[in-house]
A and B are shown apart, each in its own frame.
Chain A
Amino acid sequence: MAAKDSPLKQFEIIPYSKTEVGSYDISFTNSSLSMVITVAVITLFLTLTVNPRSLVPTRMQLISELMYNFIAQLLSDTVGDNGKKYFPFVFSIFMFVLIGNMVGMVPYQFTFTSHIIVTFALASVVFIGVTILGFVNHGIKFFTFFYIPGVPFYMHPLLIPIEVISYLSRPISLSVRLFANMLAGHTLLKVFAGFVVAMPFFTGALPLVFIVALTGLEILIAFLQAYVFAILTCLYINDAYHLH
C-alpha cells in the first residue's frame, strides 16, 4: 500500500491472524491490539489507583478522581440531574478516546482513532443511542424536534428537510473531527521526522526541536478531542430530553 518511507505508513492495518466469519473479515489487527491495550490500561489504571480508597488521596488516586469529577461536572452542567444515569456511558467514551489518543502518542504504537471507521462507529453508537433515547422520552412527539415553532407555515416544507439533514450530519461531523485531527497530527509528526534525516549536517536539529513542540501540542489535541467528543455527547443527550 503505502511506500516504505511514507509518512502514511503508520496508518497501515496489519492483520495478525486471518479470521473470517461469513464474508466479513474479523482478523485481529494492530488496530484491535491497540484497542485491547487501551481498555487494559484504563481498567488497570482506574481499579489500581482507586483501590486503596484513602480519604487523603495519593497522586494517582487524585488523577482518577479528577477524571471522574471532570465528566460528572460536565454532565451536570449540560444535562442537569437527568444526566447522572448516563455517566457510565459518557465516561467510557471519554476514557476510550482519551487513552486511545494517548496510547497512540507512544512511539511505534498504532493510533486507532486515526481511522475514520473507528470514530464513525463510536459516533454512530452515540447518535443511534441518543435517537432511541429521544423516542423513549417523547415517543412520536420526538419528531417535533425537526419542527421549529414560530415560523410561517409555508416555510416548513423547506425547513424540515434542512433540520433533518442537520440532525443526520451529527455523527459525521463528530467522527470526522476526531479522525482528521489525529490523522493530520500524526502525519505532521512523521513529515517533520523525515526532515531530521533529510537535512544536511546539523540543521536537522531544527525540525527535531519542532517535533518536541509538536508532540506537546499533539497531547493537548488528544485531550481536547476527547473532551469535545464527551461534551457533544452530553449536548446530544440533553437534546433528547429537551426538544428545542
Chain B
Amino acid sequence: MVDEDKLKDLKERIETAKSINTPIPKKKKESGAGFGFKISTEIIAALVVGVGIGLIVDKYLGTKPFGLIIFFIFGAIAGFLNVYRVMRRIEKQ
C-alpha cells in the first residue's frame, strides 16, 4: 500500500507542477507607443480604403466630388469602428 501513497503523492506533485507551468505568458507587455501605433494604423487603413473607393466611384460614375466626400466620411467612421473593435478585444483579454 505504500506504493499507492507514493503514486498519489507523485500525482499531486505532477498536478501542481503542471498548474505552475501552464500559464505561459501569451502576451508580451506592449509599450504605449506600440499601442498608439496600432490604433493609428487602424484609422489610416480605413481612411485609405474609403478614399480609394470614393475616387473609383467618382471616376466611373462621374459624381466628382461627392463620392470622395461621402466615402471619406464613411472611411473615417469605419476607422473609429475598427478602433472600437480593437479596444473591445483588448478589454476582453
Asked whether any CB of chain B lies closer than 8 Å to the CB of A181, the reply is yes
Flag the segment in A6-14, A37-45, A163-171 that touches B. Answer: A163-171
Residues of chain A from 67 to 81 with CB closer than 8 A to chain B in the complex? 70, 73-74, 77
- Interface 9-residue window, one of B6-14, B58-66, B70-78: B70-78
Task: Looking at the assembled complex, report how far the CB atom of B30 sits from the nearest CB atom of chain A, in whole angstroms.
Answer: 7
Q: Is A147 an interface residue (CB 8 A)?
A: no
**Are A162 and B30 in contact (CB-based, < 8 A)?**
no
Q: How far is the CB of A227 from chain B (nearest CB, A)?
A: 8
B81, CB-defined interface residue at 8 Å: yes
Picked from B28, B49, B71, B89, the residue with its CB within 8 Å of the CB of A169 is B49
Q: Taking the nearest CB of chain A, how far is it from the CB of B53, in angstroms?
A: 7
- Bound CA–CA A162/B46 (angstroms): 9
A107-145 interface mask toward B, CB cutoff 8 Å, 1 = contact, 0 = none? Answer: 000000000000000000000000000000000000000
Label chain B's interface by main secondary structure.
Answer: helix
B24 at interface (Cβ–Cβ under 8 A)? yes
Q: Within residues 25 to 74 of chain A, which ones have a CB less than 8 A from any CB in chain B?
A: 70, 73-74
B41 touches A173 (CB 8 A): yes
Given contacts A73-B24, A223-B28, A224-B34, contact A166 B82 (CB under 8 A): yes
Task: Encode contact with A along B11-41: 1 for CB under 8 Å, 0 otherwise.
Answer: 0000000000000101010100010011001
A contact patch SS: helix
Q: Is A177 an interface residue (CB 8 A)?
A: yes
Residue from the list B26, B30, B49, B81 in contact with A172, Cβ < 8 A = B49
Contacts of B41 in A (CB 8 A): 173, 176-177, 180
Q: Which 4 A-B pairs have the closest CB atoms?
A: A173-B45, A172-B45, A165-B78, A169-B45
Can you give 30 A-B contacts (C-beta < 8 A)? A73-B24, A73-B26, A161-B71, A162-B78, A163-B81, A165-B46, A165-B50, A165-B71, A165-B75, A166-B46, A166-B78, A166-B81, A168-B49, A168-B53, A169-B42, A169-B48, A169-B78, A169-B79, A170-B45, A172-B45, A172-B49, A173-B42, A173-B82, A176-B41, A177-B38, A177-B41, A181-B37, A224-B28, A224-B30, A227-B28
16 further A-B pairs in the complex, CB-CB below 8 A; given A162-B77, A165-B46, A176-B44: A161-B71, A163-B78, A165-B74, A165-B75, A166-B78, A169-B42, A169-B45, A169-B46, A169-B49, A169-B79, A169-B82, A173-B42, A180-B37, A180-B41, A223-B28, A227-B28
Task: Enumerate chain B interface residues (CB-CB to A < 8 A).
Answer: 24, 26, 28, 30, 34, 37-38, 41-42, 44-46, 48-50, 53, 71, 74-75, 77-79, 81-82, 89
